[in-house]
Amino acid sequence: MWIALVNVTYRPGILDPEAKTIQQALAALGFASVEDLKTGRFFELHYAPGTERETAEQLTHAIADQLLANPVIQSYRFDLQEAAE
């Protein structure tokens, strides 16, 4: 079966105050070499056994476009992994 691992992140230029705050905390902890930090949301979509890879890919695009990401502020990328059925 196919599992889609989807990452949704903010588009470049979109303010992410949470990321900024985490980065400042890292600097305070001594991890000053982290120059930039991004946050995002992670989703795992487990497709039903028998779903073709191509179908899983198309469906994942449709799902991310329509619901998981807001295209005004976010973009997404995903990997498909094959798991034992």
Q: Where do contacts with other proteins occur on this chain (CB under 8 A)?
A: 14-15, 17-18, 21, 41, 67-68, 70, 72-73
**SS3 category, 53:** helix
CB of 71 to other proteins, least distance (A): 9
Rounded to 10 degrees, what is the CA torsion of 3, 37, 34, 25? -110
Residue 11: alpha-carbon gap to chain centroid: 12
Q: How far is the CB of 66 from other proteins (least distance, A)?
A: 9
Q: Which is nearer to other proteins, 13 or 49 (CB)?
A: 13
In the bound complex, what is the minimum distance in angstroms from residue 8's beta carbon to other proteins?
Answer: 9
Nearer to other proteins, 1 or 73 (CB): 73
H, E, C per residue of 19-45: HHHHHHHHHHHCCCCCCCCCCEEEEEE
